[in-house]
Amino acid sequence: MRVLGIETSCDETSAAVLDGTGDDATLRSLVILSQDVHRIFGGVVPEIASRAHLTSIVPVVERALADAGVGEIDAVAVTNAPGLVGALLVGVSFAKAFSFARRVPVIGVHHMEGHLFATALEHRDAVPPFTALLVSGGHTLLLDVEAWGRYRLLGKTRDDAAGEAFDKVAKLLGLPYPGGPHVERLAATSDGGDFRFARPMVRRNQIPGDADFYDVSFSGLKTAVLTAVKSSNLDDSRAAIARAFQDAMIDTLVEKTTRAARQFGRPRVVLGGGVACNATLVAAMRERFEPRGVQVFAPSARLATDNAAMIARAGLFHLERGERSPLDLNAFSSQPIPGLVAA
Q: How far is the CB of 118 from Zn ion (least distance, A)?
A: 9
CA–CA gap between residue 244 and residue 241 (Å, rounded): 5
Assess 140 for contact with Zn ion (CB under 5 A): no
Q: Which is nearer to ligand KG4, 65 or 314 (CB)?
A: 314
Q: Using CB under 5 A, which of 289, 306, 314, 315 touches Zn ion?
A: 306
Assess 217 for contact with Zn ion (CB under 5 A): no
Q: Which x/- pattern over 69-98 shows residues binding Zn ion (rule: CB under 5 A)?
A: ------------------------------
Q: How far is the CB of 263 from ligand KG4 (least distance, A)?
A: 26
Taking CB under 5 A as the binding criterion, the range among 36-44, 49-57, 135-143, 151-159 that sits at the site for Zn ion is: 135-143
CA–CA gap between residue 70 and residue 106 (Å, rounded): 19
Compute how many other C-beta atoms are within 10 angstroms of the C-beta atom of residue 72.
7
Q: How far is the CB of 100 from ligand KG4 (least distance, A)?
A: 28
Q: How far is the CB of 136 from Zn ion (least distance, A)?
A: 4
Q: Using CB under 5 A, which of 80, 136, 140, 217 touches Zn ion?
A: 136
Q: Which is nearer to Zn ion, 28 or 139 (CB)?
A: 139
Contacts of residue 85, Cβ cutoff 8 Å, sequence gap at least 6: 331, 332, 333
CA–CA gap between residue 229 and residue 154 (Å, rounded): 33
181 makes contact, choosing from ligand KG4, Zn ion, none, with CB < 5 to 8 Å by partner type, with ligand KG4
179 makes contact, choosing from ligand KG4, Zn ion, none, with CB < 5 to 8 Å by partner type, with ligand KG4
> 85-94 burial string, b = 16+ CB within 10 Å, else e?
bbbbbbbbbb
CA–CA gap between residue 251 and residue 239 (Å, rounded): 18
| Contacting residues toward ligand KG4, per CB under 6 A | 10, 136-138, 163, 166-167, 178-181, 184, 273-275, 277-278, 305-306
160 makes contact, choosing from ligand KG4, Zn ion, none, with CB < 5 to 8 Å by partner type, with none
Compute how many other C-beta atoms are within 10 angstroms of the C-beta atom of residue 65.
18
Alpha-carbon distances, residue 277 vs 109, 119, 237, 343 (angstroms): 23, 12, 25, 27
- β-bridge pairing 295-297 and 340-342: unpaired
Assess 14 for contact with Zn ion (CB under 5 A): no
Identify which of 158, 160, 151, 81 has the alpha carbon closest to the alpha carbon of residue 116: 151
Q: How far is the CB of 203 from ligand KG4 (least distance, A)?
A: 25
Q: Which is nearer to ligand KG4, 144 or 306 (CB)?
A: 306
Compute how many other C-beta atoms are within 10 angstroms of the C-beta atom of residue 265.
9
Sheet bearing 140-147, strands edge to edge:
295-297, 268-272, 130-135, 140-147, 150-156, 340-342
Q: How far is the CB of 305 from ligand KG4 (least distance, A)?
A: 3
